[in-house]
């Protein structure tokens, strides 16, 4: 029997919704290609199943953060081009080459090391050059970009397939930095024109860039949060219509009457204002349902919003049904997603926890089984 058939807490992932979101993004950015980002277990949706599905519909490429994520996709039979976007430790390079993964090269020294390993192994290394145009995290500075580009001319065993940078504020109302990053990236690309060389695949736009900066779509775009049916901020324009692909559910495992003045959970932070009915759910911060939701979040019970009361425990959450509320053991409760005419959005969950949608998705623990529909 599958774990998802046993555990009352689970995540449901709608692969059809992911496919529709991908198609909507493709229509919006065409003729630019699309590289869905599958890092952090495909934003909590399940990297192997999502990767297989997208590979099956003929995706242009896939992006991940770490070597192990790329290897997991290859082990699962995914054949699409895969770019690993994080920094690379030198000892990992042979594994990149063995798994046919594209390497992010952010410096002259890293390029030299990749060239040496590829030469020693008698093979070619596929790379994407990474430039820092304002993110300040990873990449050759835009001010010294020519140093890395010039060095590629002396790296015969390195195949430069792509060149990219990453936006820092593309989902914010202030466009100043993003527009500066676009200008800096275009200046970097002038190197190819000055030498009469064909340029590699250019990619710059993340979800915010896809939505608000068509001039940054270039040859390829990299949707992350947008692919999974959420928007990066309230300020980002809704130029692509997407739908959530994930529902997070648990089930009632205990029902009780709490008398007026009695308290619930650690610290006695919630006291019943009147006689009321409270149910317990087998989910908690050990599953990624943040402790910050204590006395703040709402869930859907029978399609109706009910408050989380008391502190969220490692393995349990308590919900107040009110004095006349009804629920039975085994009833579904929606933590994230829709039920009937109402829905708990990832943006709402993030606000309740004082965080961002990315963290909500990626914090859902591996001990929560994923069910694919």
pLDDT of residue 1: 41
| CATH code for the domain in which residue 190 is found | 3.20.20.10
Considering the domain boundaries, does residue 19 fall inside one? no
Q: What is the dihedral of CA 84, 88, 93, 98, to 10 degrees?
A: -20
Considering 174, 195, 228, which residue would you say is the last residue of a domain? 228
- Mean pLDDT computed over every residue of the chain: 97
283 with 340, same domain: the answer is yes
For residues 229-234, give the mean pLDDT. Answer: 96
Query: Are 158 and 292 contained in the same domain?
Result: no
Known catalytic membership, residue 285: no
* Residues β-bridged to residue 129: 105, 163
- For 69-113, what is each residue's pLDDT tens digit? 999 999 999 999 999 999 898 899 999 999 999 999 999 999 999
10 lies in some domain: no
Tell which of 199, 228, 257 closes a domain: 228
Whether residue 5 is contained in a domain is answered as no
39 is catalytic: yes
Residue 119 maps to a domain: yes
Task: Assess if residue 307 is contained within a domain.
Answer: yes
Residue pointed to by tokens 């029902």: 255
Indicate the helix (H) or strand (E) that contains 333. Answer: strand 332-339
Is 217 found in the same domain as 98? yes
Is the pLDDT higher at 87 or at 161?
161
Give the 3-state secondary structure of residue 22: helix
Q: Do 331 and 208 share a structural domain?
A: no
Residue 241 lies in a domain: no
Residue 237 lies in a domain: no
Q: Which of 124, 254, 266, 328 is catalytic?
A: 266
3-state helix, strand, coil in the chain (%, to 5): 35, 25, 40
Is residue 179 domain-shared with residue 293, that is, in the same domain?
Answer: no
My answer on whether 77 and 176 are in the same domain is: yes
Question: Are 258 and 223 within one domain?
Answer: no
Domain count, the chain: 2
279 and 213: one domain?
no
| Residue bearing the bigger pLDDT, 197 or 6 | 197
Q: How confident is the model at residue 4 (pLDDT cuts 50, 70, 90)?
A: low
Domain limits at 142?
32-228
Q: What is the CATH number of the domain that holds 322?
A: 2.40.37.10
Do 65 and 195 reside in the same domain of the chain? yes
Do 292 and 216 lie in a common domain?
Answer: no
Tens-digit pLDDT profile for residues 113-146: 999 999 999 999 999 999 999 999 999 999 999 9
Band of residue 2 on the pLDDT scale cut at 50, 70, 90: low
In this structure, what DSSP letter does residue 37 have? B
- Which of 180, 195, 228 is a domain's end point? 228
Q: Of residues 39, 110, 130, 306, which has the active-site annotation?
A: 39
Task: Let me know whether 191 and 255 are in one domain.
Answer: no
Q: How far is CA 166 from CA 44, 95, 177, 202, 217, in A?
A: 22, 25, 12, 12, 12
Mean pLDDT of 333-352: 96
Higher model confidence: residue 5 or residue 234?
234
Report CA-CA distances (Å) from 291 to 24, 222, 283, 348: 35, 32, 11, 15
Q: Do residues 113 and 38 share a domain? A: yes
Torsion of CA 171, 177, 178, 183, to 10 degrees: 180
Say if 144 falls within a structural domain: yes
């Amino acid at each position: 029997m599958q774990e998802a058939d046993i555990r009352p807490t689970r995540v449901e992932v709608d692969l059809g919704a992911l496919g529709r979101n991908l198609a909507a993004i493709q229509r919006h950015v065409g003729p630019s290609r699309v590289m869905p980002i599958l890092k952090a277990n495909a934003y909590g949706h399940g990297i192997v199943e999502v990767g297989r599905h997208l590979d099956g519909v003929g995706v242009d490429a896939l992006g991940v953060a770490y070597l192990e994520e790329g290897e997991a996709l290859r082990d699962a039979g995914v054949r699409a081009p895969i770019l690993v976007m994080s920094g690379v430790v030198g000892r990992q390079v042979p594994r990149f080459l063995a798994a046919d993964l594209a390497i992010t090269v952010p410096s002259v020294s890293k390029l030299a090391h990749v060239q040496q390993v590829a030469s020693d192994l008698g093979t070619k290394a596929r790379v994407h050059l990474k430039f820092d145009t304002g993110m300040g995290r990873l990449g050759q500075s835009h001010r010294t970009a020519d140093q890395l580009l010039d060095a590629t001319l002396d790296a015969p065993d390195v195949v430069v397939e792509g060149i990219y940078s990453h936006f820092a504020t593309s989902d914010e109302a202030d466009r100043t930095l993003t527009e500066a990053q676009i200008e800096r990236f275009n200046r970097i690309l002038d190197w190819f024109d000055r030498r009469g060389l064909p340029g590699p695949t250019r990619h710059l736009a993340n979800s915010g860039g896809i939505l608000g900066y068509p001039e940054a779509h270039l040859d390829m775009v990299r949707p992350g949060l947008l692919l999974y049916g959420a928007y990066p901020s309230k300020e980002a324009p809704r130029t692509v219509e997407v739908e959530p692909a994930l529902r997070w559910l648990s089930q009632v495992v205990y029902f009780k009457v709490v008398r007026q003045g009695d308290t619930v959970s650690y610290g006695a932070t919630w006291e019943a204002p009147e006689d009321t009915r409270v149910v317990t759910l087998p989910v908690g911060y050990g599953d990624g349902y943040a402790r910050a939701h204590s006395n703040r979040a709402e869930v859907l019970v029978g399609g109706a919003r009910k408050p989380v009361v008391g502190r969220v425990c490692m393995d349990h959450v308590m919900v107040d049904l009110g004095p006349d509320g009804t629920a039975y053991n085994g009833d579904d409760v929606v933590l994230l997603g829709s039920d009937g005419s109402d829905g708990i959005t990832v943006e709402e969950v993030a606000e309740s926890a004082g965080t961002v949608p990315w963290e909500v998705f990626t914090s859902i623990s591996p001990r929560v089984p994923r069910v694919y529909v």
